[in-house]
Homo-oligomer: A and B are copies of this chain.
């Protein structure tokens, strides 16, 4: 296992120390509760946005804490759900009296723990709503999930509803937009290599020198099938076809196209996938109105990519374009 780490058991805490050291103007790390909180939280009258999940997917979620996006993030151990106590502490830390929305990726542990945290917070008088993302079209159920997995749309959702929450919109409106973004987004990923969880010390799965895993999950969980490595054009097609079908995207519609790297794939390859994706969409008269490319929801050092398409409406575009200032996404301010 070749990693830039100290002790395996300190990986998450050491990384949090790095976040604290580099971004003091944006966030503070509460090491006792193992949460990342926006520097100016809680903000009176603003809906607090809390997300979280296992570590190993950076910058998700901690890298999205800041103005115009998340108010707090709860990082679990690598590929392990955070615990309800973290989520409760985060909920308390960001409650500005307007309620708190939990943004939960659909994995069994995350869902159960966020539910428990929401109950505990409600018992303290904090109004909590939740949205569960489940945009991965690859598989219906998986080793980690009942129903579809939550992946790339989570990033887009956190940005878009972060923009709305910043305006002082009520919890019901923020939750409603969150549900709409999730409903209009679909994703699929392909892995060229496995990744190694530090505590395991060996690759999560084995993949032959000429193989790829189609529909891989962000923890390396199995996808639809294993296949021989193909060209970027073919791989893009394998990902985008089920997305287009599932979203029933039609000629004349516009999307946000998100080409995501899984951690070990260089940007030059992501742009090649983007080129193929753009060709396919052009051929169907679907407009790429907004885009995002880079490593935003990763699986440690896994080589591979995922594509997320989000059918845009005017409100989504407005809040996508709204100012954001976080370690990983920043524009407009």
Interface hub of A209, A266, A301, A330 (most chain B Cβ within 10 A): A266
Is A112 in the interface zone, CB < 8 Å from B? no
- Given A4-B270, A6-B233, A301-B264, A275 and B192 contact (CB-CB distance below 8 Å): no
Complex Cα gap A269–B2 (Å): 11
* A245 vs chain B, min Cβ distance (A): 22
Is A51 in the interface zone, CB < 8 Å from B? no
Chain A residues numbered 42-81 whose CB sits less than 8 Å from any CB in chain B = 55-56, 58-59, 63, 78
Nearest B residue to A24 via CB reads B288
Chain A residues numbered 263-308 whose CB sits less than 8 Å from any CB in chain B = 263-278, 288, 291, 293-295, 298, 300-301, 303-305
- Given A15-B275, A331-B325, A267 and B6 contact (CB-CB distance below 8 Å): no
* A194 vs chain B, min Cβ distance (A): 12
Neighbouring B residues of A2 by C-beta, 8 Å: 192-193, 209, 212, 229, 303
Neighbouring B residues of A298 by C-beta, 8 Å: 266-267
B3 touching A269, Cβ below 8 Å: yes
Is A126 in the interface zone, CB < 8 Å from B? no
Which listed residue, B14, B56, B268, touches A58 by the CB 8 Å rule? B268
Closest 3 pairs between A and B when the two form their complex, measured CB to CB? A18-B271, A21-B278, A18-B274
22 A-B pairs, CB-CB below 8 angstroms? A2-B192, A2-B303, A4-B304, A6-B276, A11-B268, A14-B271, A15-B271, A15-B272, A16-B271, A18-B259, A22-B288, A263-B266, A264-B264, A264-B301, A267-B295, A293-B327, A295-B295, A301-B303, A325-B331, A330-B330, A331-B333, A332-B333
